[in-house]
Amino acid sequence: MRRILIDTDTASDDAVALIFALRDDRAHIEAITVVAGNVPVDTGVKNALTAVQMANTYTPPVYRGCSKPMMRDLFTSEFVHGSDGMGDMNLPDPALCVASGHAVDKIIELVVDNPHEIELITLGPLTNLALAYLKEPRIAQLVKHVFVMGGSGFGPGNITPVAEFNIYVDAEAAQIVLSSGMPLTFVGWDVSTDETFISQADIDHLLATGSPIAQFCVRCNEGLRLHNEEVWGQSGFDLPDPTAVIAALYPEIILKQSTVYSFIECKSADTYGQMVIDGNNLLKRPANVTLCHKIDAARFKDILFSRIQ
């Protein structure tokens, strides 16, 4: 049983990822830490608690984390996920309560107290993890592995022409993590945009199951569906956070990956947040990250759907 900490900026696809992880039997979620990103941190905490409640399995503690990026004002994405981050469902407050303590301290505590046992999966900006590393650098050697939903591989960005949202929100934090020496695997937005994309046929299938959990997962992504239709001309929605979680827990579905040197552009106004990938080793610098390029989309959907219906 793998021991996982999930760090999230809980909006609609994060909620699906949390529900999946809590209903999957390959891992035990030790804690959930929340960071500002898709939505302000308090909204993210509410949505994380709601997802735990909806999963209806067990209740890992949920900790409130950083409310803004390290060096910039917070940029959020309610224009994608709805004013509440959950497709404007306007859900009531969950019965569960946030745990006492700060997310940064809990990341450190869990990793240091359980050396080489804890794996992190990050689904939002890397502010919490970067600050945890700056406060206690030993976590870079003590964490078992870190899986990051971030970047867009060799493709274009989704918030600027070159930047993916999670990296763009706090590029400085992402660069700190990339240069920390932690064992890293990045699963970018691009991995969720090919055959892994949740089509209208997939949506119809999930709704036809009659499962309240499947219906919730579809409904909370209604804002994302509308955004994709308006901006990208696609009917359906991408699920980058569940893609990252399933790639982490089911590495056998990864069809292509590479280990490379990468850095984050933090100084240019036009390319801030770009994940620069030295795929041809032109800089001759030691590799610092494994990039997932493609997964088995059919297997991904089989695994995801089986847990949420």
Per residue in 201-211, pLDDT (tens digit) is: 999 999 999 99
Please tell me whether residue 120 adopts helix, strand or coil conformation.
Answer: strand
Task: Mention the CATH class of domain 2-308.
Answer: alpha beta
Average pLDDT over every residue of 246-257: 98
Amino acid at 80: V
Nearest to 108 by CA among 135, 145, 69: 135
Listed in sequence order, the DSSP H helices in 56-187 are: 78-81, 103-113, 127-135, 139-142, 165-169, 171-178
What is the distance between the alpha carbons of residues 185 and 258, in angstroms, rounded to a whole number? 10
pLDDT by residue (tens digit) across 217-245?
A: 999 999 999 999 999 899 999 999 999 99
Nearest to 86 by CA among 28, 136, 16: 16
What is the distance between the alpha carbons of residues 91 and 156, in angstroms, rounded to a whole number? 34
Q: What is the mean pLDDT of the chain?
A: 97
What is the distance between the alpha carbons of residues 104 and 238, in angstroms, rounded to a whole number? 29
Indicate the pLDDT class of residue 257, thresholds 50, 70 and 90. very high
* Token pair of 57 as six digits: 């399995």
Indicate the pLDDT class of residue 290, thresholds 50, 70 and 90. very high
Residue 36 pLDDT: 98
Residue 163 pLDDT: 98
